[in-house]
Amino acid sequence: MPNRTVTSPPAASSRSPLPLLLSLSLLTVSLCSFAALCILLRAPMADLLVYRAEGEAVVHGGDLYGFTVTEWRLPATYPPFAAVLFVPASGIPVPALKALFLAGNALLLAWLLALSARLAGRTAPLPLLCAATALALWLEPVSQTLLFGQVNLAITGLVLWDLTRPPGARAKGLALGIAAGVKLTPAIFIAYLFLTARRKEAATATASFAGTVLLGALLLPAPTVDFWTRRLYETGRVGKAWIIDNQSLQGLVARATGTPAPGLAWVLPAALVAAAGLWLATRARRVHGSDRWGILLTAFTALLVCPISWSHHWVWCVPLLAVLLAEGRTLLAAAAALVFTARTMWLVPHAGDRDLHLPGWQQPCASPYPLLGLALLAGAAVALRRRSGTPQDGRPGAAPPDGSQPSASSSSASMIR
């Protein structure tokens, strides 16, 4: 009887490289198109120039909070610790620095997408990661971050990386504290950790943040006193609260009422939103047994109640879209992606003080992000109220003993219905 040759099935490694090639092609086209747009617009990367000037002020002993740069006369607004981190930028020529920031932010976007997949309880294969990076580049908060030379992707990535680490991970909370030391708004996540009874992680984050303040005081004592006793409270240094660039709750109220300084008309709603948002985030973790929606609700609460949240601060749209897609909420994800891509705020009249004189029908176009943020909190409240299932140990509202995330199969129980 003749010998038969048995052919084994092809190994997994021999799969077609076509998906990867297509996604890499898409990413290349997207990156090249964006770079061409930067050149065409002669993108000044104004915030990057402020960072560079901060580094120069540290090196040369200049007045850290006394200078302004660019035609918009932008001052330094971050704590002294951030200025210390910007020292390396002071020695790099501006054209090279812009190229480095553009490439670095593209890599940070890919990292944020990978972290967003982890938050959603999924993994991101390389072809999917490349394609997602190519598309996410054109979300308005992301593209504005690159055009301004901002650090939003780095800050968001640090926070998300730290909070999605396994429970009990070594020095969990350290990166969160460092992020808060650069931009103060991530400090709201420390409150979230305390409220969800993770005191060790909260204490680590608090100590880390305090360490950034101490380091700034040791290296730059006079600017540290100036910042923490004076500059921190000069919100006008950051910019005008009523312009359409500001997509916080204060910006929405200022434009809707035609008042440059809305005062209590903003402060009281902001206080209520802060309390409600943190309560919902804490409740979401108890009900769902994971940090998935707790992190997102905390992030969007911070964006709403912060006096000024420029449109590029809303890069938290990236993990939001990832979670919605992972939970099968395709229509909601498409609607959110449309909001974050349409750029409606730039289509309404906003030259001079026209932001304060918009007709009622243009108000939603001028404030799409805070309206979406409020809708997210309202949707979470309704979903939590209606949720009747019991989580993993059988007790209503109980988190798993180890605080771990639920499996991907259980992620279909979405916060938003």
The average pLDDT across 53-70 equals: 93
Q: Summarize pLDDT for 285-304 with one digit per residue, the tens.
A: 999 888 999 999 999 999 99
Alpha-carbon distance of 115 to 107, in angstroms, equals 12
Q: What digits encode the pLDDT tens for the residues 117-137?
A: 999 999 999 999 999 999 999
Q: What is the mean pLDDT of residues 280-289?
A: 92
pLDDT of residue 220: 96
Q: Is 60 exceeded by the pLDDT of residue 63?
A: yes
Q: Residue 235's pLDDT band (boundaries 50, 70, 90)?
A: confident
Mean pLDDT taken over the chain:
89
Q: Give pLDDT, residue 12.
A: 46
For residue 2, is pLDDT > 60? no
Instruction: Reply yes or no on whether the pLDDT at 392 is more than 70.
Output: no
- Of 24-28, 46-50, 234-238, the least confident: 234-238
**242 class by beta-carbon count within 10 Å (0-12 exposed, 13-18 middle, 19+ buried):** buried
Note the pLDDT tens digit of each residue in 154-169. 999 999 999 999 988 9
User: What percent of the chain clears pLDDT 70, i.e. is strictly above it?
Assistant: 89
Q: What band does 405 get if pLDDT is binned at 50, 70 and 90?
A: very low
Would you state the pLDDT for residue 393?
44
Q: Output the pLDDT for position 387.
A: 79
Cα 73 to Cα 2: distance, rounded to the nearest angstrom:
87
Residue 215 CA to chain centroid, in angstroms? 25
Tokens 């802060």 — which residue?
A: 274
Q: How far apart are CA 417 and CA 39, in angstroms?
A: 43
Q: Is the pLDDT of residue 394 over 80?
A: no
Residue 105: predicted pLDDT: 96
Condensed to tens digits (0 to 9), the pLDDT of residues 168-179 reads 899 999 999 999
Cα separation, 51 vs 296, in Å, equals 28
Q: What is the 3-state secondary structure (H, E, C) of the chain?
A: CCCCCCCCCCCHHHCCCHHHHHHHHHHHHHHHHHHHHHHHHCCCCHHHHHHHHHHHHHHHCCCCCCCCECCCCECCCCCHHHHHHCHHHHHCCHHHHHHHHHHHHHHHHHHHHHHHHHHCCCCCCHHHHHHHHHHHCCCHHHHHHHHHCCCHHHHHHHHHHHHCCCCCCCCCCHHHHHHHHHCCHHHHHHHHHHHCCCHHHHHHHHHHHHHHHHHHHHHCHHHHHHHHHCHHHCHHHCCCCCCCCECCHHHHHHHHHCCCCCCHHHHHHHHHHHHHHHHHHHHHHHHHCCCHHHHHHHHHHHHHHCCCCEHHHHHHHHHHHHHHHHCCCHHHHHHHHHHHHHCHHHCCCCCCCHHHHCCHHHHHHHCHHHHHHHHHHHHHHHHHHHCCCCCCCCCCCCCCCCCCCCCHHHHHCCCCC
| Res 397 pLDDT > 60 | no
Percent of the chain residues topping a pLDDT of 90: 79
Q: In the chain, what is the straight-line distance between the N-terminal and C-terminal CA atoms, in Å?
A: 65
CA distance 249 to 170: 36
pLDDT classification of 5: cutoffs 50, 70, 90: low
Q: In 3D, which of 413, 414, 411, 393 has the Cα closest to residue 402?
A: 393
